[in-house]
Amino acid sequence: GNSVTQMEGPVTLSEEAFLTINCTYTATGYPSLFWYVQYPGEGLQLLLKATKADDKGSNKGFEATYRKETTSFHLEKGSVQVSDSAVYFCALITSYGKLTFGQGTILTVHP
Amino acid sequence: DTGVSQDPRHKITKRGQNVTFRCDPISEHNRLYWYRQTLGQGPEFLTYFQNEAQLEKSRLLSDRFSAERPKGSFSTLEIQRTEQGDSAMYLCASMRDSAQETQYFGPGTRLLVL
């Protein structure tokens, strides 16, 4: 079946540090891939997505590239801010729209 | 605010009671999904509607759970004879009728069963 594995957290960084959150997946075919973010006290929001191999999704300084050969979709940001503190979820989608999520990675950014 | 609303936002109930949650999706979205999220985990799929038809149910959805979307607009999720293990955040999401589209999530209903 489909599954998503994210790097263990939590991740704690200083402001302006480089961020990488690893995500790998197992799926039949080539699903679309997503990163969702959950800020404290808020609902899940789409951060970025990629729909086919070698696509790069980007938003708010975050980027992730769909790597078919390594079945990965790692999230990166060059310089994190305190306001990026949140829980980040990697996910894939099936043909009827069911999302399969990773377990989430808590990111805390200190000033 | 994504445009998907859920009610109530919080619910505390005693074991054995029935609870019902409501989700109002974005109006032009045909598809509606329910997920459950427990502490420290990602959301897990429960069920999905296309218009008023319930097309898929997870094995997580025991006989005590029932979901409806009677007119293809809002949806309800009912849990009968609640158990402490039902304590979780229940999330609703909606999307247009294409797997390439974005799924928009509501703020969730947090259930605590005492």
> Is A45 in contact with A31 (CB distance < 8 Å)?
no
> Is A111 in contact with A15 (CB distance < 8 Å)?
yes
Residue that wins the pLDDT comparison between A48 and A40: A48
Radius of gyration of chain A (CA): 13
**pLDDT for the residue numbered B98:** 67
In whole angstroms, what is the distance from residue B92 CA to residue B114 CA? 23
Kindly tell me if the per-residue pLDDT of A6 is higher than 60: yes
> Is A14 in contact with A110 (CB distance < 8 Å)?
yes
Least Cα separation, residue B32 to chain A (angstroms): 9
**pLDDT for the residue numbered A34:** 96
**pLDDT for the residue numbered A26:** 94
In whole angstroms, what is the distance from residue B36 CA to residue B46 CA? 7
Confidence of residue A45 (pLDDT cuts 50, 70, 90): very high
**pLDDT for the residue numbered A78:** 96
**pLDDT for the residue numbered A46:** 94
A-B CB pairs within 8 A amount to 62
**pLDDT for the residue numbered A88:** 97
Least Cα separation, residue A108 to chain B (angstroms): 15
Q: What is the 3-state secondary structure (H, E, C) of chain B?
A: CCCCEEECCEEEECCCCCEEEEEECCCCCCEEEEEEECCCCCCEEEEEEECCEEEEECCCCCCCEEEECCCCCCEEEEECCCCHHHCEEEEEEEECCCCCCCCEECCCEEEEEC
Give, for all 114 residues of chain B, the pLDDT tens digit: 778 999 999 999 999 999 999 999 999 899 999 999 998 899 999 999 999 999 989 988 889 999 999 988 999 999 999 999 999 999 999 998 765 678 999 999 999 999
Kindly tell me if the per-residue pLDDT of A97 is higher than 90: no
Rounded to the nearest integer, the mean pLDDT of chain B is 93
pLDDT in tens, A55-95: 999 999 999 999 999 999 999 999 999 999 999 999 998 77
- Closest residue in A to B6 (Cα) is A43
Would you call A97 and B33 a contact, using CB atoms and an 8 Å cutoff? yes
> Contacts of residue A96 in chain B, CB cutoff 8 Å?
48, 55-56, 99
Residue A94 touches chain B, beta carbons under 8 Å:
yes
Burial B50-73 (b: 16+ CB within 10 A, else e): beeebebebeebeeebebebeeee
Separation of CA A44 from chain center: 12
Burial of B85 (0-12, 13-18, 19+ CB in 10 A): exposed
Half-sphere exposure of B7 (CA within 13 A, CB side): 6
**pLDDT for the residue numbered B6:** 96
**pLDDT for the residue numbered B61:** 85
Averaged pLDDT, A25-32: 89
Residue A98 touches chain B, beta carbons under 8 Å:
yes
In whole angstroms, what is the distance from residue A41 CA to residue A104 CA? 16
**pLDDT for the residue numbered B99:** 54
CA separation, residue B22 to residues A3, A27, A43, B5, B19 (Å) = 29, 32, 16, 8, 10
Kindly tell me if the per-residue pLDDT of A110 is higher than 60: yes
Residue A51 touches chain B, beta carbons under 8 Å:
yes
Confidence of residue A29 (pLDDT cuts 50, 70, 90): confident
Tell me how long chain B is. Answer: 114
Would you call A98 and B56 a contact, using CB atoms and an 8 Å cutoff? yes
Rounded to the nearest integer, the mean pLDDT of chain A is 93
**pLDDT for the residue numbered B28:** 87
